[in-house]
Amino acid sequence: MDVNLEHLKVMVIDDSKTIRRTAETLLQKVGCTVVTATDGFDALAKIADTRPDIIFVDIMMPRLDGYQTCALIKNNSEFKSTPVIMLSSKDGLSSTKPKVASWAPTSI
């Protein structure tokens, strides 16, 4: 299946500069427009201006974590239909499922 990602606006929210830069480079290579944010507060300041088509957010971040950031995005009527993909470098994602299931329309 061939998917055209050109002109897709992607937001990457991660406190790791390495992760942000790597994701930005890879996504730009396939034609995406990428906006990065260092944490949830930075993302919320940028989201209204950039209006991303999809958002990737790290779960574990200082100040405003991925769960809180996602909840704020999903509680905004303008962005509640924007897909949010939660990312984690931790192996134990089973411990995150109850939190995700509490606000996600479906759980995986």
User: Three-class SS of residue 8?
Assistant: coil
Instruction: Provide the terminal-to-terminal Cα distance of the chain, rounded to the nearest Å.
Output: 23
How many domains is the chain partitioned into structurally? 1
Tell me the CATH number at 25.
3.40.50.2300
Residue 57, in any domain of the structure: yes
Residue 85, in any domain of the structure: yes
Residue 20, in any domain of the structure: yes
Domain range for residue 36? 9-98
* Alpha helical stretches, state H, the chain: 17-29, 40-50, 66-74, 97-101
The average pLDDT across 57-73 equals 93
Question: pTM for the whole thing?
Answer: 0.81
Residue 106, in any domain of the structure: no
Pick the residue with more confidence: 35 or 103? 35
What is the pLDDT at residue 1?
Answer: 60
Residue 105, in any domain of the structure: no
The average pLDDT across 48-64 equals 94
Residue 107, in any domain of the structure: no
The average pLDDT across 29-50 equals 95
Residue 4, in any domain of the structure: no
The average pLDDT across 83-92 equals 80
pLDDT bin (cut points 50, 70, 90) of residue 53 is very high
